[in-house]
Every structure is written in structure tokens, then in C-alpha cells.
A and B are shown apart, each in its own frame.
Chain A
Amino acid sequence: MITDIIVDGLLAAVAAIGFGSFSYPPRRAFKYIGLLGAVGHALRYTLMAHAGLDIATSSFCASLCIGFLALLFGRMSRCPLTVLYIPALLPMIPGMYAYRSVFALVKLMQSLNDYAMSEKYINLFIVNMTVAVSVIFLLAVGATLVLFLFPNKAYTMTRRRQVA
């Protein structure tokens, strides 16, 4: 169980750093992005596999945790919060649900003459789409909450001189 969680975190770190590199993060941010991605995804995995929570709730908990950790790491790396947490959220985007909804749409178009089958595929499409959209929305909201809870902290990350 412990190894599963660690492997999950390591894979997520690779994914976060790789997808993040598309958006040219500053070099000093890479290690924090990897760490945040690992902690977030491993937490979601643990909640889903061992605490029996659903994907939307556990994604929200994980992104909330990423947001708070980003507040800590932002100060250490002098990076704005979004620079750290957006790449860390990317591995949690529910790609397989998005894929399955496209797949269901393709199948739907091919079974328009068969009422029972088309009903099945439109159901699959709606279910998968709803999960994908809700998870993405909750990920963004969870991590962004810190920006609204601590606006003064969040917008002074890049300041060299700290006012007590």
C-alpha cells in the first residue's frame, strides 16, 4: 500500500514537471512543482483507493492541499502561487474520462439506428463529460481558494523585502 502511494507520487511528479515545462516555469520552481504534483496526486490516490471517497471530492481535497503548500513554497522560491500550483494540478486532470466521452460520442454516431445502443452511449457520454468537467472545476477552485483566503500573502510572494 505504501509503495503504491509512493510510486503514484513519483509518476505524478514526472508528469507535473513535464507538462509544466510547456509553460516555461523559472528554473528555481521545478523542484517545488514536482513535489506539489507528487503530494497532490498521491493524496488523491490515497483518498480514492483507501478512504473510499469519490474522484470529485478527493480531487478537491488534493487541490486544496496543493494550494496551501504552494503558499509555503512560494515564499521559499519567490514565485507567484499560480506558477507553482497550475503545473501541479495538470496530472490530476481526468484525461481518461475526457477520452471516454469522446469515444462514446463516436460510438453514438455509429449507432443512431439502434435506439437501445444510442441511449447507452449518450448516457456514457453525459456521465463521463460531467465527471471530467466537475473535476477540472473543483481542481481550479480548490487551489485558488488560498488566493482569496490570504490575498495579501498570495500577492507578496515575489517581494524580496518582507514587511512583518
Chain B
Amino acid sequence: MTTEELKETAEFISEYATCLLGSGVHTSRVLRNSTRICDALGVGIQMTTLSKTIVITVFDAHEGTSHTEVLSIPALPISFEYNADLSELSWDVYDNRMPLREIKERYREIVSRPKMSRYMILLLVGLANGAFCRLFNGAWGAVVIVVLATWLGVFVRQEMQKRKVNHFIVFIVSAFVASMFASLSLIPGWTPNTAIGTSVLFLIPGVPLINGIIDIIDGHTLTGVSRLINAMLLIICVAVGLSVPLLLFVKNLL
């Protein structure tokens, strides 16, 4: 492989790996997928992952050449679709031995696919939180209020994310809005504790929590701990937003 080709390969692999890491894939899967593609292309790879950057060296053992890329990990929204389809791509490359140009084309095609509409997500998350409220034995009136509160909270979150507001602020404000709306259940007295408690649960960062634990057990302690710390901070933000209605209505909530 020429130096130019090696450089091109390293650039593509680092883009592929940061895209996966940024969209919430646990570290050992990213390593396996990247190594698989490099195996198919006939080059070796060594990789270091930190919480915000990766360092990748791609080398050709026969020629004795190597190329190193350092790339920061973008803060993408979590996407299980990338996780599934980019993993599938790595196996297709491995089994069918396609040239780099074709791999790049397939990669571009996958990352440019349209995402699910935000209003569909809004609808589904609202219903999910309503179902959750019912699971905790909330009254049916409380379920309706929680669905409405969640729609409002998710809408606020989406609008703020679109304007690139700091994500800790996004979490505090969305938790505040949703739990304040859910406090309406105090007036008719429809299980207000369950309503307020479940109205903010759509904000719990479940994916980084579980990925963090997987990473730590896998031995990628640094990335795992940084994922967990990030998730903890977000949970504290949810608690801050939630504590406003609790402080206001604490006498009515015993």
C-alpha cells in the first residue's frame, strides 16, 4: 500500500471510529469494527480512545510504513441506527473485500439517511412516559397529565438542542418545565407524587449509564468512568430542575 493510500485509509477509519463513539457505541465494539475493516484492507491498526479524542495508527507491516491520525470525538445524538448499520458495513467489508472507495460511498450513504421525524419521537416518548406513570400505579388522570407534561418537556428539549444551548442547561430547564406541568395533578389530587416523579424520567441518560458499565467491565476504565460521570452530571441536572416544584409545593406533597 502506498503512503497516500495508507493516509486515506487512516483518515477514513478515524472518521468511522469517531462517528461510532460519538453516537453512543461502547468502546470495544468500535475497536472490533475498526480492526475488522483494517484486516479486510490488509493493514494493521492500533487505537487509543479517550473521552474526547482518539489516536489511531494505521500501518503496513510489509512496507514498514505507518500513518497516525488524532481526531476529536464529535458530540452527536445517540444513534442505534449507526451502531447497527455501521457494524453491518464492517462485516460486509470483511466478507466481500470491497475497495476503500466503495466503503466510503456506503459509509456516506448510511450517515446521510434521514432520521426519524422529531414529532414522531415527541409522540412516542410522551406515550412511553404515560405508560411508565401507569406502571407505578399512577391514577389515569395523572397518566394524561404526564403525557402532556412530557410532550412539553421533550419539545423544550428539542428546541433548545436545535439552538445549541449547553446540554446541562437543557436538562435543567426541560426537567423544570415537565415537572412544573405535572404539578397540575395537585389540584384534583391525582397521585401527584407519581405524576411529578415520572414526568422527568424521559431525561434519564440510560444509554451512557449502561455503556459506561460495559466499558468498565471490558477494561476501558477511562472512557467508562467518563461516560458515567457525564451521566451522573445529567442526573444531577434533572434533580435540580425537579426540585423547584418540590420546594414550591412541599407542603402539599406528603
- Chain A residues at the B interface, C-beta cutoff of 8 Å: 8, 11-12, 14-26, 29, 41, 78-80, 82-83, 86-87, 89-91, 93, 95-96, 98-100, 102-103, 105-107, 110, 136-137, 139-141, 143-144, 147-148, 155-161
Which chain A residues border B186 with CB–CB below 8 Å?
none
Chain A residues, Cβ within 8 Å of B187: none
Residue of A26, A137, A159, A160 near B213 (CB, 8 A) is: A137
Least CB distance from B57 to A in Å reads 23
Closest to A7 in B: B134
Q: Does B100 contact A (CB under 8 A)?
A: no
B196 touches A99 (CB 8 A): yes
- A19 with B202: CB separation less than 8 A: yes
Mostly, the B contact residues are helix
Tell me if B217 and A148 are in contact (CB < 8 A): yes
**Which DSSP category, helix, strand, loop or mixed, fits chain A's interface?**
helix
Q: Which residues of A contact B94 (CB under 8 A)?
A: 159
Check A11–B131 contact: CB distance below 8 A: yes
Q: Which residues of B contact A82 (CB under 8 A)?
A: 25-26, 29, 80, 83, 210-211, 214
Docked CA distance A103–B193 (Å): 10
Interface assignment of B121: CB less than 8 Å from any CB of chain A: yes
Report chain B residues within 8 Å CB of A139: 210
Chain B residue with the shortest CB-CB distance to A16? B128
- B222 contacts the other chain (CB 8 A): no
A79 contacts B206, C-beta separation under 8 Å: no
Judge if B201 is at the interface, Cβ distance under 8 Å. Answer: yes
Question: Which 6 A-B pairs have CB atoms at the shortest separation, nearest pair first?
Answer: A18-B128, A99-B197, A159-B91, A14-B131, A140-B213, A158-B88
Chain B's nearest CB lies how many Å from the CB of A87?
Answer: 8
B136 touches A96 (CB 8 A): yes
Given A25-B81, A110-B250, A158-B87, are A91 and B207 neighbors across the interface (CB < 8 Å)? no
Which residues of the other chain, B, contact A79 by a CB distance below 8 angstroms? 80, 84
16 residue pairs of the A-B complex, CB under 8 angstroms, read A11-B134, A18-B127, A21-B128, A24-B78, A26-B80, A26-B81, A79-B84, A83-B84, A91-B132, A91-B135, A93-B206, A98-B235, A137-B213, A159-B88, A159-B91, A159-B95
Does the CB pair B124–A21 fall under 8 Å? yes
* Contact across chains for A147 and B214 when beta carbons are under 8 A apart: yes
Q: Verify B131–A96 contact, CB threshold 8 A.
A: no
User: Which residue numbers of B lie inside 8 Å of A, CB to CB?
Assistant: 24-26, 29, 32, 77-85, 87-88, 90-92, 94-95, 115-116, 120-121, 124-132, 134-136, 193-194, 196-198, 200-202, 204, 206-207, 209-211, 213-214, 217, 235, 239, 242-243, 246-247, 250, 253
* Min C-beta distance of A140 to chain B, whole Å: 4
Which B residues are in CB contact (< 8 Å) with A100? Answer: 197
In the complex, the answer to whether A14 meets B210 with C-beta atoms within 8 Å is no
Nearest CB of chain A from residue B15's CB, rounded to whole Å:
19
Q: How far is the CB of B227 from chain A (nearest CB, A)?
A: 11
Given known A-B contacts A21-B116, A26-B85, A103-B253, A155 and B29 have beta carbons under 8 A apart? yes
Shortest distance in angstroms between B131's beta carbon and chain A's nearest beta carbon? 4
Minimum Cβ distance to chain A for residue B23 (Å): 8
Min CB distance, B53 to chain A, in Å? 23
Closest to B203 in A: A22
- A82-B214, A96-B194 known; A23 and B78 CB under 8 Å? yes
Instruction: Tell me whether B217 and A144 are in contact (CB under 8 A).
Output: yes
Cβ-neighbour of B198 out of A14, A87, A95 (below 8 A): A95
A147 to B203 alpha-carbon distance, docked (Å): 27
Partner of A144, one of B24, B196, B198, B214: B214
**Residues of B close to A155: CB separation below 8 A:** 29, 32
Query: Are the CB atoms of A8 and B135 closer together than 8 Å?
Result: yes
Please indicate the chain B residues that have their CB under 8 angstroms from the CB of A15 in the complex: 128-129, 131-132, 135
A80 adjacent to B204 (CB under 8 Å): no
Contact of B91 among A25, A87, A158 (CB under 8 A): A158
